[in-house]
Amino acid sequence: MRSSTEPEPVASAAGGTGPSPRALGRGLVWLRALWLALRHLLLEDGLVVAGYVAFAAVFALFPFVIVLLALAGFFGQGEAARESIALALDLVPPEVAAVLRPVIAEIRGGAPRGLLGVGILVSLWFASSGMEAIRHVLDRAYGGPSHHNVVLARLQSLVLVVLVAVAILVAMVALVAVPLVRQLVEWLSERDVVAPGVYLVLRYGLGLTMLFALTVTLHLVLPAVPLRLAEVLPGTVLSVLLWALAAELYSAYLASLPTSYSVTYGSLAGIVVTLFFFYVSAAIFIFGAQLNGALRELRGNRRP
C-alpha cells in the first residue's frame, strides 16, 4: 500500500490521461498566432490593405485572362485555356460568375493570337500589378524588407505571371483524359455504382487543389524572405478552406436577398457584388499570411 506521503505518479505523455506539456505548448502557440493574425486583420490595417489587394486583383484579372488566352493561342492550346477559365468560374459564387463570364467571353472573342503585340505587353504589366499587391501583403506578414529594387521586383512579377499562366495550361493539358473520366463516372452512375454528382465533386476538388498550389507558390516565391514549405502550409491550407466556405456562404446570402442589392446599387449591383467577393477573398488571404508570419515569429524563426 502506498503511504499518504508518497507522491502520486506522473502520467507519461504516451499513456497519461491529459495532454502533454508539449501539446499544450503547441496549442498555446496556435491560439496566440490566430489572435495575432485576427488582430492585424480587424484591429490594425488588414482590412484597409484587403481593399487595395481586391482592387489590384480585379484590375489584374482581365489582363491576366488576355495573357492566358494569348499563350494558349501561341501553343495551340485554346481548349485548355477555355477549360481552365470554366473551372475557375465554377469555384466562385454563381452571381460573381454571371458578372465575369460575359466579359471573359468578350475578351475571348477578341483575344490576340500572338505574343508580340503591344497589347500583350500592356496586359502583362497590368497583370503583374496584382502580383506586386500580393508581394506587399506577404512581405508585411513574413517580416520582409519594406523597400525593393523596383525594376527587379517588377521583372519577377512579369515572369511569374507568364509562369502561372503556363502552369495552368500545362495542368489543363495534363487533364485531357477528363472527358474520358466524365464518361466513366456517368456510366458508373447509371448503374448506381457511384453517386451522380461525383464528377462535379471531383471537378470542384480539382479547382481547389489548383488554387491551393497557386497560393503555396505565391507564398514561397514572392516574399523577400526565404521560406520552407512547412512554414507556409498552415496559413495556405486554412485560407483555401476559409475561401471555399466564404464562397458558399456568400452565394447563399445573395440567393436569400435576390433584389435588395439591385435596388441599392442599380446597374452597378453586379460590379459591387463581384468587388466585395474579391475583398473578402483578399481579407482571407491576408489572414492566412499573417497566421504563417505569427507562427514563425512565435517559434523564433523570423529573421530580424
213-243 tens-digit pLDDT: 999 999 999 998 999 999 999 999 999 999 9
The pLDDT-based confidence of 136 (bands split at 50, 70, 90) is: very high
- pLDDT in the model for residue 2: 47
Least confident of 124-133, 164-173, 261-270: 261-270
- pLDDT in the model for residue 217: 93
Q: How many residues does the chain have?
A: 304
Residue 173 buriedness (CB in 10 A; 0-12 / 13-18 / 19+): middle
Range of the domain at 166: 26-297
* Residue 14 falls inside a structural domain: no
- pLDDT in the model for residue 1: 45
- pLDDT in the model for residue 182: 56
- pLDDT in the model for residue 82: 84
* Residue 157 falls inside a structural domain: yes
- pTM for the complete prediction? 0.81
- What share of the chain has pLDDT > 70, as a percent? 75
The pLDDT-based confidence of 10 (bands split at 50, 70, 90) is: very low
- pLDDT in the model for residue 171: 76
The pLDDT-based confidence of 15 (bands split at 50, 70, 90) is: very low
Q: Check whether 192 has a pLDDT greater than 70.
A: no
Contacts of 157 (CB under 8 A, 6+ apart): 128, 129, 131, 132, 135
* Residue 250 falls inside a structural domain: yes
Average pLDDT over residues 45-53: 93
**DSSP-assigned states of every residue in 213-265:** HHHHHHHHHSSSS---HHHHHHHHHHHHHHHHHHHHHHHHHHHHSTTHHHHHH
- Distance, CA of 189 to CA of 302 (rounded, Å): 51
* Residue 4 falls inside a structural domain: no
The pLDDT-based confidence of 12 (bands split at 50, 70, 90) is: very low
Q: Check whether 94 has a pLDDT greater than 70.
A: yes
Give 11 or 213, the one with higher predicted confidence.
213
Q: Check whether 248 has a pLDDT greater than 80.
A: yes
Contact 253, 96 (CB under 8 A): no
- pLDDT in the model for residue 301: 62
- Per-residue cell: 303: 529573421
Give 10 or 97, the one with higher predicted confidence.
97
- Distance, CA of 3 to CA of 184 (rounded, Å): 71
- What share of the chain has pLDDT > 90, as a percent? 36
- pLDDT in the model for residue 179: 55
* Residue 21 falls inside a structural domain: no
* Residue 302 falls inside a structural domain: no
Contact 281, 54 (CB under 8 A): yes
User: For residue range 64-73, what is the model confidence (pLDDT) as tens digits?
Assistant: 988 888 888 8
- pLDDT in the model for residue 249: 93
* Residue 143 falls inside a structural domain: yes
Per the prediction, the chain carries an average pLDDT of 81
- Distance, CA of 38 to CA of 238 (rounded, Å): 13
As for how many domains the chain has, the answer is: 1
Average pLDDT over residues 174-186: 56
* Residue 53 falls inside a structural domain: yes
Contacts 24+ apart (CB under 8 A), 112-119: 112/66, 112/69, 112/70, 112/73, 113/70, 113/73, 113/74, 114/70, 114/73, 114/74, 115/70, 115/71, 115/74, 119/66
- Distance, CA of 282 to CA of 52 (rounded, Å): 9
